[in-house]
C-alpha cells in the first residue's frame, strides 16, 4: 500500500491485521523535506520551543547551539521510563503507523530518515518495547513514545521474530541504521497521541467483532425460544429514529431470514380472542435480553461508529507541538498533542462494550435458569440432573468477568492529576483509557465464548440443528469442531480459550 495523505481505518486493518506492506509516496517525502528545510532556516535567531529551549516547565532556559542535538537525545533517554506489561505487537505497529502518518503531514519539521525507518520497522515486523504504564496523555503519549524514539536512535529493545532483543542487535541483523537527530526529532516523535490512537484503532476493530458476534448469538437465542419476529421488524424499529437500532434490527433479520424457528405473531396470537384461554400457555413477549436487542446494541453500534470517526480524524491530524506551517512560513505553539478526544472515546467505547457484555451475561442466565426459559434443563445440563453440572461452573466465570468490566467502566477522562511542576495541570489520561478499554474488550470475548458454548448445547438438547438459520448452523458447526456435545462433566477452561480464539477470527 502506498502512503500519501489520508489513511482510513480500513487501511490500518490491511497493514496491522493483514500485514500488508507499505510504500512512501514521493509527494509525501517531498512534503517532509520541505518542512524540515523550512524549520532549519526559520529557527535561526528565533526562540522555538523544543529546538533551542528546554522542555515543559524548563522552556525558559535557552539551549546553546552546540547542545541542541544532545538535548533531543537527553529528552528521549530520560523519558524512556515506562513500566508494566509490554503493549501487544499489533498495538505498537498501529502506533508506529499513526506516528508515521502524522509526521508525514509536513507539520513537524522532521528529517526524512524518521519516516523511512518507521516504514522499515512496520514492514519487517520489528516492534519496539513500549510499556502500558507511563503516559498521562497531555503532551501526548510522552513516555510511551519515548520508547519508540529510543528504538529509532538505535537503543532500547524490540520484539523480533517472537523474541525480545536489543535494538542494536536487531538493526545489525537487518542492516538498518538508526536516525541521527537533526533539529527536533526527539520532541516531534514524543509529542503526540499515536500510542493511545494505535491502541484505540485495535480496540475499535475488536469491538466491531464483538458487536457482530453479539448480534449472531442474540439471533440464535431468539431461535431457541422460537420468538416472534415483530420486535425485529422494520416497521417497529423504523418508528425510532436511531440509526444504530435500525441497523442492528436489519442485521438480525438477515441472519434469521432462513430460520424455521422464528414465528410470526399473526400466525399464533392474532387469532380470535374468544377462542384463547384465560391464562396463556405461551409467552406473549420475551424477556428484555431477547426482545430489546436492537435497542441495546444500537447505541453500541452508534458509539463505535463515532469512535472510529474520531480515531480517523486524530491519526490524520497534526498532533505535535509546535506546529510547523510551511505555507504561512510560521511556527505555531499550542496543544495539539492533548489526548482528550481519544480519552473520551475510549471511555465511551468501554462503557458500551461492558453493556454488550452485560447483555450476554443476562442471555446466558436466561438459558441456564430453567424456571424462566421453561424449555431447557437447569444449566443446560445434558447429563443426569443432580449428578452432572452442565454449564453451572462456567456461569461463575461469566458473572465475575462481567462484574470486573462494570468496575473498569469508570471514567479515566475525568481523572486528571496535575504533574510536570503543574505545567501539565489538566491531562487526558488517554493511554490509560485505551489500555483499560482493551481489558474490557478481552473480558467481553470471554463472556461471549461461554454464551456461545451454552447456545450450542441448547441447540443440541432441543434437536434444532436442522431448523436454525444457516448463520446459527455455521456457528454450531464451527464450535462443535472445538468442543463436542457433552453430558459428562469435563474440564472446561481449555475449551473456553479455544472458543474465545475462534470468536476473534470471525
**What is the model's pTM?**
0.93
Q: Locate 75 and state its grid cell.
A: 529528552
The SS3 of residue 42 is helix
CB of 80 within 8 A of CB of 194? no
Give the pLDDT confidence of 220-272 residue by residue, as tens digits.
Answer: 999 999 988 989 999 999 999 999 999 999 999 999 999 999 888 766 655 65
Asked whether the predicted pLDDT for residue 67 surpasses 80, the reply is: no
Give the pLDDT confidence of 144-158 residue by residue, as tens digits.
Answer: 999 999 999 999 999
Higher pLDDT, 8 or 55: 8
**Residue 435 pLDDT class (50, 70, 90 cuts):** very high
Q: Give the number of other Cβ atoms within 10 Å of residue 421's Cβ.
A: 10
The mean per-residue pLDDT over the stretch 313-320 comes to 92
Separation of alpha carbons 485 and 382, rounded Å: 9
The mean per-residue pLDDT over the stretch 191-212 comes to 96
Which pLDDT score, from 0 to 100, does residue 268 have?
62
Give the pLDDT confidence of 73-102 residue by residue, as tens digits.
Answer: 988 999 899 999 999 999 999 999 999 999
Higher pLDDT, 271 or 429: 429
Which pLDDT score, from 0 to 100, does residue 156 have?
96
Which pLDDT score, from 0 to 100, does residue 195 have?
95
- Residue 352 is inside which H or E element, if any? helix 340-368
Task: Write out the catalytic residue numbers.
Answer: 49
- Rounded percentage of the chain residues whose pLDDT exceeds 70: 93
Asked whether the predicted pLDDT for residue 276 surpasses 60, the reply is: no
- Rounded percentage of the chain residues whose pLDDT exceeds 90: 72
Q: State the alpha helices, DSSP H only, in 165-292.
A: 167-174, 185-190, 194-224, 234-237, 243-255, 265-268, 288-291
Amino acid at each position: 500500500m502506498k502512503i500519501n495523505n489520508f489513511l482510513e481505518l480500513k487501511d490500518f486493518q490491511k497493514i496491522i491485521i493483514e500485514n500488508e506492506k507499505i510504500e512512501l509516496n514521493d509527494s509525501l517525502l517531498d512534503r517532509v523535506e520541505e518542512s524540515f528545510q523550512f524549520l532549519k532556516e526559520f529557527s535561526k535567531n528565533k526562540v522555538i520551543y523544543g529546538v533551542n529551549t528546554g522542555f515543559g516547565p524548563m522552556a525558559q532556559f535557552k539551549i546553546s547551539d552546540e547542545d541542541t542535538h544532545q538535548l533531543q537525545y537527553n529528552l528521549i533517554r530520560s523519558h524512556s521510563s515506562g513500566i508494566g506489561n509490554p503493549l501487544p505487537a499489533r498495538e505498537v505497529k498501529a502506533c508506529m503507523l499513526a506516528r508515521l502518518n502524522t509526521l508525514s503531514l509536513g507539520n513537524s519539521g522532521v528529517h526524512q530518515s524518521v519516516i523511512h525507518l518507521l516504514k522499515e520497522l512496520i514492514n519487517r515486523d520489528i516492534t519496539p518495547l513500549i510499556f502500558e504504564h507511563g503516559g498521562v496523555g497531555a503532551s501526548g503519549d510522552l513516555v510511551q513514545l519515548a520508547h519508540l524514539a529510543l528504538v529509532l536512535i538505535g537503543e532500547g529493545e524490540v520484539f523480533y521474530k517472537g523474541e525480545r532483543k536489543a535494538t542494536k542487535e536487531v538493526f545489525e541483523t537487518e542492516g538498518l541504521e538508526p536516525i541521527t537527530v537533526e533539529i527536533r526529532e526527539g520532541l516531534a516523535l514524543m509529542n503526540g497521541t499515536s500510542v493511545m490512537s494505535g491502541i484505540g484503532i485495535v480496540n475499535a476493530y475488536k469491538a466491531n467483532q464483538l458487536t457482530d458476534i453479539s448480534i449472531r448469538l442474540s439471533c440464535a437465542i431468539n431461535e431457541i425460544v422460537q420468538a416472534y419476529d415483530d420486535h425485529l421488524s422494520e416497521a417497529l424499529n423504523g418508528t425510532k429514529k436511531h440509526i444504530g437500532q435500525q441497523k442492528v434490527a436489519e442485521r438480525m433479520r438477515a441472519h434469521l431470514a432462513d430460520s424455521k424457528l422464528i414465528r410470526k405473531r399473526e400466525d399464533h396470537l392474532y387469532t380470535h380472542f374468544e377462542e384463547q384461554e384465560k391464562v396463556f400457555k405461551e409467552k406473549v413477549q420475551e424477556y428484555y435480553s431477547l426482545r430489546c436487542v436492537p435497542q441495546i446494541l444500537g447505541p453500541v453500534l452508534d458509539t463505535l461508529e463515532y469512535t472510529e470517526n474520531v480515531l480517523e480524524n486524530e491519526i490524520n491530524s497534526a498532533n505535535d507541538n509546535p506546529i510547523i506551517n510551511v505555507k504561512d512560513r510560521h511556527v505555531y505553539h499550542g496543544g495539539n498533542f492533548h489526548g482528550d478526544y481519544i480519552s473520551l472515546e475510549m471511555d465511551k467505547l468501554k462503557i458500551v462494550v461492558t453493556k454488550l457484555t452485560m447483555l450476554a451475561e443476562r442471555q446466558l442466565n436466561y438459558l441456564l435458569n430453567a424456571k424462566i426459559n421453561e424449555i431447557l434443563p437447569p444449566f443446560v445440563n445434558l447429563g443426569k440432573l443432580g449428578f452432572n453440572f452442565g454449564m453451572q461452573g462456567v456461569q461463575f466465570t461469566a458473572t465475575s468477568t462481567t462484574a470486573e468490566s462494570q468496575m473498569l467502566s469508570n471514567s479515566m477522562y475525568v481523572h486528571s492529576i496535575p504533574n510536570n511542576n503543574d505545567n501539565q495541570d489538566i491531562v487526558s489520561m488517554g493511554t490509560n483509557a485505551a489500555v483499560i478499554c482493551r481489558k474490557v474488550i478481552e473480558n467481553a470475548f470471554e463472556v461471549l465464548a461461554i454464551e456461545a458454548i451454552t447456545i450450542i448445547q441448547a441447540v443440541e438438547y432441543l434437536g434444532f440443528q436442522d431448523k436454525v438459520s444457516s448463520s446459527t448452523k455455521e456457528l454450531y458447526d464451527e464450535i462443535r469442531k472445538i468442543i463436542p456435545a457433552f453430558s459428562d462433566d469435563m474440564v472446561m477452561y481449555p475449551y473456553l480459550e479455544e472458543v474465545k480464539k475462534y470468536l476473534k477470527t470471525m
